Each structure stands twice: as structure tokens, then as C-alpha cells.
Amino acid sequence: MKVAVIGATGLVGSVMLKVLEERKFPVTDLILVASERSTGKKVRFLSKEFTILSMEEALSKKPTIAIFSAGAEISLEWAPKFVEAGTTVVDNSSAWRLTHALIVPEINGDTLTASDKIIANPNCSTIQLVMAIKPLHDAFQVKRVIISTYQSITGTGMKAVQQLKNEIAGYDGERAYPHPIYENALPHCDVFEQNGYTKEEMKLSRETKKILDDDSVLVSATAVRVPVKGGHSESVNIEFAKPFELSQVRQLFRETEGVVLEDNPAENNYPMPITAADKDEVFVGRIRRDFTQENTLNMWIVSDNLRKGAATNAVQIAEKLIQKKLI
């Protein structure tokens, strides 16, 4: 099992290596790629040191599977070349999400087939949303979702992490954002589209429909970047076609793989990024009926965006490919 990690020294790539170790993924040959300035550097994995290779060197090794986390431009250029070499690609960028299989293993992993050679990892904020609403959709039929996100700076990358560090230290350095992020909240995740929504907000709408395989589900989002170092939070309002009881909702979450119910406000128990850090589950709480509208629910969803929102989901896709004997 030759495994290539493209973008191995980035925030997501480094977590991918950690997750591969933790989950004891059957790696027989690890092939690491990063930017040109990192080529030749050493990275430790399972107590061994591996040298960062160029993309051409990695391609020549014809890996069994390549997990990409190096941005859409790199994926668009190189993923097809790896497929030509016989590699199956799991891509963490936005490059292939609307044109290829878009997979959250707990939800639609069983739809993967031998013809799926480029498999897209959904957007981090989408993954945690669909993990929480899928059991509710099956039971009560989701009609409409209104979501506001509170997204960690790690969703932007190392440049954003450094901007926050600089601002805390009072140093005026290079910025990842058009405004300060320290002691601030930016209603601006990704670029703005012509309709006034950001690309991040439209990802939530488009990807949710595709993963649930239901174009009738309406999703309207406002995505906000906050000065949190790890973990995305979401305030979600869901309108259903069918009536529900709160006890039914809570029981569904207790029974859903990969979801953890934290819903006891009287004891100050609810999901938070600080307690979701370094965990693979999606945490759900603050569950309450919307008293202003029939068959409508409010809840709060939190997940570690670098793990289930990116690295863990990608590795789980690879595991599903092995399970289905597709690689």
C-alpha cells in the first residue's frame, strides 16, 4: 500500500500523518510531497524519517492512493496525472467537489465504485453540518437550513495562524485577511460571488444537497471567521416537513456514528471548540424547538476542522476504499 500525502507539511497534511498513525492505516511505503522549498526536508512518521519529494518523483513511484491537501490549482493539474499512473486520489480541495464523488463515509461511503478514481473530501463546515442533519433528514425530512458559522483561523492556513500570533504580540506582519482578526469577527470566508454570498457559504448549500442526494434541501449560510485557533462552530436552524419531538432528536444523535450529544445547559454542558480539539467526532447541543415556527429546530454543532473536517474524513475515505476492495 503505497500512500502519497501531497501537502504533507501544511496544517491539514501534518494532521493527516498523525491520523494515519493513530488509525494504523496499512502504509507500506509513504511518499511525501510539499512545496518546492520543502523538498529534501525530513518528516517523521512511525518513528522513521521520510524525505519530502518533488511532485514528479512522487508520481514516478505510482502510489496506490494519493491524498491531496495542497489547494485546488495543484489538484486540478496533478490529480489526473496520478490517476493516469494508476493511483486513486482523495482530494481535500474544492477542485472536484461538484464534478466527482463527494464523500462523507458515514453518510454515502457505500456509493463508491471502482470508477471513482478522484474522490472529493467535502468542505470542513459542510462535513460537520451533514453529519448532524443526515439522521434528522431521514426521520423528519429537512426542508430548509439557515446556518451561521464561527470558523477557526486554521481553516485559512498557516498564514492566518501567524497573523493572529502577530496581532496578539502587537507586531504588524503579513496578513491573510483584509482586516485584523484578533478581537474581531469577519463575515468574510473565501471570496465573494456575484450573488453577494461567499464561496464558503455557497459550498455549504451546494455540497449539502449533493451529499444528501436531495436537491430539495434549501441551505442559506453566513460564514464568519473568528479568532479561534482550532474548531468550527455552527448555529443551525432547521425546518422539517414532518413534526418531531425533542426526545426523538436527542435519541437519534445518541445512535448516530461519529456524533456526540452534549446537551445539558443546566450543567453548562454544550459543544465548544476547546473541548472538541483533537477529536474526530461531531458534537451537537443547545437543541431546542424554534418557538416562532412550526416543525423547526435550533441547534449548535462543533467539530475540529482539521480532523473530521479534513484529515480524518480523507483517511476514512481511504479506509472505505480498502473495505470495498477498490484499491
The C-alpha cell at 229 is 485557533
**CB–CB of 52/8 below 8 Å?**
yes
| Helix residue ranges, H only, the chain | 11-22, 55-60, 72-84, 105-108, 124-140, 158-169, 199-212, 246-255, 273-276, 312-323
Write down the catalytic residue from 100, 137, 179, 232. Answer: 232
Catalytic residue among 124, 137, 188, 189: 124
Give the β-pairing of 48-53 and 296-303.
Answer: unpaired
Rounded to whole angstroms, the Cα distance separating 124 from 203 reads 10
Residue 232 bears catalytic tag: yes
Cell numbers placing 78: 496533478
124 catalytic per annotation: yes
DSSP helix/strand/coil, 195 = coil
* Grid cell digits, residue 240: 422539517
Residues whose CB is less than 8 angstroms from the CB of residue 170 and which lie 6 or more positions away in sequence, other chains included: none
Residues in a beta bridge with 49: 44
Provide the annotated active-site residues. Answer: 124, 232
